[in-house]
Amino acid sequence: MLSPQGRGALSEAVLESMRSGKTSHLVDAPEPDGAEDAQLALWVLYEQHYRGFEDVSGELEWDPHLISVRRGLEQDFERTLRARMPEVPREGDFAETFFAFVAEHDGPSLATHVQRKATEDQVRELLRHRSIYHLKESDHTTWVIPRLSDRVKAAVMELQFDEYGDGDPNRLHAHLFRRGLADSGLDSGYGAYIDEAPLEVLEENNAMSLFGLNRRLRAASLGFLAAFEATSSGPSRRMAGGLERLGFPASMIGYYTEHVEADAVHEQLAVRTICGALLEEEPELHDDVYLGAWTSLDLEDRYAARMLKQWAA
Ligand SMILES: [Fe+2]
Ligand SMILES: [Fe+2]
């Protein structure tokens, strides 16, 4: 992937220094021109730790000036996410309470819209936005693995093994999505649609990286995973129905049908065996599990609300 277009003074300064390799002037980095500029800058800084950019040297992955900008943006973003959080439940059995917290959450549903009345163009736009995450599906959780006890680690590996295709490179969920994109006539290149990703998509992707790349936020990463998995099976079934209604290719539908069953298993694993075990060992991480879970639900709501409003207009 080539580095994207900037969206304001800060992301332009960051991108320019990444492409040129001259980063020292970032000591006086400009203030971001709003949230989209800040989130794009953070996204490109995080991308250095995934597949990176063809036009940026790998030498810059741990460049202290870039890391310093990233750190400032992360601190602002974490403060924002924490400020958005409601009161979280504290009583009762963790798994039952957590499932109820997710079930009682009532946000706008893109999957229901796709199932019933989305147009083909709307679905294609949705798939382009989703590609930013699905082409690196589950990678953010992999960052957390070395930070866990044996028991939690083994459970996360069981889930990740599935996400990564049970040892078959043609079964990786990221690969299934890539094939679906290509068969739908979309660009299946990694990061191909980053320039059109709206703020909410950048925030979703950045939250996953923030939680995954900071050891102290490991519980938020696993809470994010648990809420993500617990809100995936039903919506995946509705997505598959909508794609079928609109005549999308079998491989694109197959990506979603794969998740109907897989995520019905993953949600149990993620809530009970992963987060449940983590909190038995480290009960003080309780609120961070909910920080991650809330963030997953809330950022998806924000994205859904934006798209439904845009499509209604
Ligand atoms: Fe998956
Ligand atoms: Fe899953």
User: What is the CA(208)–ligand 1 centre distance, in A?
Assistant: 14
The whole-number pLDDT of residue 298 equals: 98
Q: Which helix (H) or strand (E) holds 280?
A: helix 277-281
Distance from C-alpha of 45 to C-alpha of 66, rounded to nearest angstrom? 7
User: What is the CA(26)–ligand 2 centre distance, in A?
Assistant: 39
Which ligand lies nearest the alpha carbon of 163? Answer: 1
User: What is the CA(215)–ligand 2 centre distance, in A?
Assistant: 22
The whole-number pLDDT of residue 313 equals: 86
Q: How many beta carbons lie within 10 A of that of residue 54, not counting itself? A: 8
pLDDT average, residue stretch 188-193: 98
The whole-number pLDDT of residue 210 equals: 98
pLDDT single digits (tens) 35-46: 999 999 999 999
The whole-number pLDDT of residue 15 equals: 98
Mark the residues whose beta carbon lies below 5 A from ion ligand 1.
163, 173
Distance from C-alpha of 16 to C-alpha of 10, rounded to nearest angstrom? 10
Q: Over the chain, what is the mean pLDDT?
A: 97
For the chain, how far is it from start to end, CA to CA, in angstroms?
33
> What are the distances in angstroms from CA 206 to CA 68, 74, 84, 243, 281?
16, 9, 16, 28, 27
pLDDT single digits (tens) 260-282: 999 999 999 999 999 999 999 99
pLDDT single digits (tens) 207-237: 999 999 999 999 999 999 999 999 999 999 9
pLDDT average, residue stretch 127-143: 98
Give, as one character, the DSSP assignment of residue 242.
Answer: H
Which ligand lies nearest the alpha carbon of 174? Answer: 1
pLDDT single digits (tens) 235-253: 999 999 999 999 999 999 9
Instruction: Check pLDDT > 90 for residue 91.
Output: no
pLDDT average, residue stretch 68-74: 98
The whole-number pLDDT of residue 9 equals: 98
